[in-house]
Every structure is written in C-alpha cells, then in structure tokens.
Structure 1
Amino acid sequence: MPDALKAEGITVRFGGVVAVDNVSLSLQPKGILGLIGPNGAGKTTLFNAVTGFVPMDSGKVRFFDRDVSSEPPYKRAQAGMGRTFQTERPFEELTVLENVLVSAFLKEPRRKDAEKLAMEMLKRVELDDRYDQPAGDLNLARRRRLELAKALAIQPRVLFLDEVMAGLNPPALREMIGLVRRLSQEGLAILMVEHIMEAIIELSDHVIVLASGQKIAEGTPQEVTSNTQVIEAYLGTE
C-alpha cells in the first residue's frame, strides 16, 4: 500500500527568507505524524505547502501515490485532504450546522444530503446538540470541534490538524486528545502540528522536529524528546 502522504524536498521562500528548507516527510495510512518545533520553525508553512495554500519553490507532494504538487487547495481537498486552521474563523452569524454545510456541499451538492452529512460530522465531534446555535456563541473548545467537523465533512483520507489543542484547559485538552485518538482508530491518517507535548507523546507514531525551517530530528516521541539537539532547540534544558 502506498504512503498516505509523501512530501519530498519541500522548499518555500518568502523573498530572501527560506521558511522551509528541503524538508521531506511521509505518513502511513492510519498513522499519526507529529510536527513540532519552536515558533517560527516553519511548521505551518510546511503544512500550507503540502495542502496547497502556499506555493513551493521546489519539492513534490504525493497523496496516495497521486502527484498533487501543482494542484490548488480545493483539488487537494476533493482528493481527501481535510484540514483545520491555526486561527479558527467560523461564520459567526451562521449556525453551527450551516458552518459545516459549507464543507459538506463539496461532497454532497443536494442540501438534504449535505445536511445529513453535516449532522453526522457534528455528532462525530460531539457538537450535534449545538447544531442550531450561532457559531459566534461557541467557546474556544467548541470552536475547535467545529473546525474539526468542517474538516471531516469533506470525508478526508488524511486529516491535517494545525494546533487544535492550543489554549485548551486541561479537561478540554483530554477530551480533544481522546477525539483525535478515536478518529485515528476509525482509519484516518493524521498529520498534526502541535506545541502540546502531552498530545504529541500520547498520539504520535512518528515525530518530525523543525528548527529554522530545517528538519533537525525525527523518530518516535521518546526518541525525539530525549534528543540533545531537540532539547536545546525546542524543549529547553531546565
């Protein structure tokens, strides 16, 4: 079986700044790959390059053995790349259900079918009891679940999670870790950018560490968290 995702030699420049420098990664079907590093390391830029939101200066992206390197984000979404964004921006005046409908219409053009799909995704993230509530009324934890529901509504094969756990209080964090674990157990491959090491250690099969746009380490969570270079660059020596 081919890799769910294989990115080779990804380089992204903004003017004279090299934001991502020749980074490669691979994600197995049903696997969870964690991407960590200090602020400004290039994690979200790499994320955006792989999903088509920023152009690559060089490199190749293969999605289940299909070359998607030159395809726009909506084509990659149609192929099965579902993602959340670091800053959640729901349509606040629309209901929770209507927000998910925006994504569901990509898969189901008929409103009745799209609503059914959207409700299924809200139930999947345990937000179905809020379906008719304005999205602007949701607290942070529920907004993150709404982002997940929107990503799931395109029925992805790979789920890209960009710091979905940042800022959550301990009970909400534990709930989100459990939710991501269930999604993986249901068969989704997941690539997650995250600063919460508790989540990375518990969930990831494999971890890549970036610093200054370059890959400085990779391995199991235990291997990278004991790596001297990673400790100095990211985790701290205290």
Structure 2
Amino acid sequence: MQTVLKADNIKVQYGGLIAVNNVSLSLTKGQVLGLIGPNGAGKSTLFNAITGFTPVASGKVTFLDKDVTRLPPYVRTRNGMGRTFQTERPYEDLTVLENVLVAAFLKNPKRKDAERVALSSLEKVGLLDRANQLSSDLNLARLRRLELAKALALEPQVLFLDEIMAGLNPPALKEMITFVRTLTATGMSIVMVEHIMEAIIQLADHVVVLASGNKIAEGSARDVINDEKVIEAYLGTD
C-alpha cells in the first residue's frame, strides 16, 4: 500500500517547552488515521506542524514522496493537503457557495470550473440546498459541514479534520460520521484529530495516542482504548 504521508521524529518546541517530542506516524492511501489524547497532549500542535501552520524544531514531513517540512501551508495545499479548522471562520457576508468558491479557486482559476467543484463539495456534505444562503445564518452543525466543504473544494489527496465533530448534538454527530464515511468509501486518505471516541471507533483504521507531547500508544481503536497507558493518561492513577 502506498504511503502518502510520513512524519518522522517531529519535534515542536516553544522556548523550554517541548509541545511535541519526536513523534512519528505514517498514513497509507485510503487509510483513516485517528489522532487522540487528553487536552494538552500536543495533538493540534502536531497536526499544525504536519500541515505547515506551526514550524518544527526538528524532524521531517514527507508528503507524496516530497519533503514538505519547510514549505508554507499554501504550497502544501496546492500539493494536495486540505484541512478544516477547530474554529469556524466563514466569510459571513458571503453565501455558502461563495465561501466554498474561495477555496475552489485555489486550483481552479476559471469560474466555471471552480463553481463545478464548489457545488460538488456542497452536495457531498448535504449543503447544496443552502448554497445561496448567507453563511452567517448557519447553525453550528452546518458551519462544520461548510468547513468540510471548503476543505473538499481544495481537491485534496489527504484530508485533515481538526475536531470536526466537537460540540455536535447526537443527530448532527451521526450525520457528520456518515459524511466522512462516504468520503472514506471513495478511497480518500484522512487524518483526524478527535475527542469523540464514537467517531474514532467508527471511522479510524489506525489510531495514534499522544500524552504530554509523546506518542504513548498506537494500533486499532479497540486496542488503544483498552491500553493501560492510555487509560492512565486520560484518567490518571490512584
């Protein structure tokens, strides 16, 4: 199976604080990799280092056989990375379609092509009927779907989902899991940072667990949630 993403010994340091300590992971084509851990574990920092939003002190990120460690985020995006963000920041004075068009134009400078990609992305996340609605009128669940549509409009080789399930009520969570599962059925490679274990168990083929910036376990979702080191990291010791 082709390896599409590899992070080797990634270290992120802020002064004397080591936020990510020599963590390695890899992703194969069509795989869903879950990245979990308690608050402050370093998940989002590692995620941002891989996607180019946080500089690394040492280590290497290889994407589609290219060293992208020092490349800025927009170049990584052009090369095939697409990501969502924890905090939704839509252009509130633009429609849902116009928000997605902003992303689609990155790889499709012609309006006709960009609109085709944007509409397809909205259809995949169930927002096609909201295309002409202002994004400021969307509720949380639909804003999360808009984030996903914007990432899909980048036509990524690997999709990075940053806590896209957080805060959703049970029906909205079920819908989002269904949307992501539909993407995996097409062979999309996905890295997801997530606190919602239901989503990890249902979607992830492989899980990496961080605690205090260190990788403490990896394996199937069922295996890692029963790992003593993982239980201790989440619940502490007596």
Q: For this structure pair, what is the TM-score category when the shorter chain's length is used for normalisation?
A: over 0.9
Q: Which residue of 1 aligns with 2:181?
A: 181
Gaps of 5+ in 1: none
Q: Which residue of 2 aligns with 1:27?
A: 27
Q: How many residues align?
A: 238
Gaps of 5+ in 2: none
Question: Could you state the TM-score of these two structures normalised by the residue count of structure 1?
Answer: 0.97
Q: Quick one: percent identity of the two aligned structures?
A: 67
CA distance in 2, matches of 1:107, 1:232: 45
Distance apart, 1:66 and its partner CA: 1.2
Q: Which residue of 1 aligns with 2:215?
A: 215
Do the aligned residues in 2 keep the contact of 1:68 with 1:76 (CA within 8 Å)? yes
CA distance in 2, matches of 1:102, 1:15: 36
Distance apart, 1:14 and its partner CA: 1.2
Stretch deviating more after TM superposition (186-195 or 111-120): 111-120
CA distance in 1, matches of 2:45, 2:35: 12
Q: Which residue of 2 aligns with 1:144?
A: 144
Distance apart, 1:2 and its partner CA: 3.2
Distance apart, 1:187 and its partner CA: 1.3
Q: Which residue of 2 aligns with 1:168?
A: 168
Q: Which residue of 2 aligns with 1:41?
A: 41
CA distance in 2, matches of 1:26, 1:73: 19
Q: Which residue of 2 aligns with 1:4?
A: 4
CA distance in 2, matches of 1:161, 1:152: 11
CA distance in 1, matches of 2:196, 2:236: 14
Question: Could you state the TM-score of these two structures normalised by the residue count of structure 2?
Answer: 0.97
CA distance in 2, matches of 1:236, 1:169: 28
Q: Which residue of 2 aligns with 1:228?
A: 228
Distance apart, 1:236 and its partner CA: 6.3
When residues 107 and 235 of structure 1 are mapped into structure 2, their CA distance, relative to the original with a 3 A threshold, is farther
Q: Which residue of 2 aligns with 1:121?
A: 121
Amino acid at match of 2:110: R
CA distance in 1, matches of 2:61, 2:33: 16
Superposed, which structure 2 residues align to 1:97-116 within 5 Å? 97-116=97-116
The runs of 4+ residues in structure 1 deviating greater than 6 Å are: none
CA distance in 1, matches of 2:117, 2:201: 32
Distance apart, 1:237 and its partner CA: 7.9
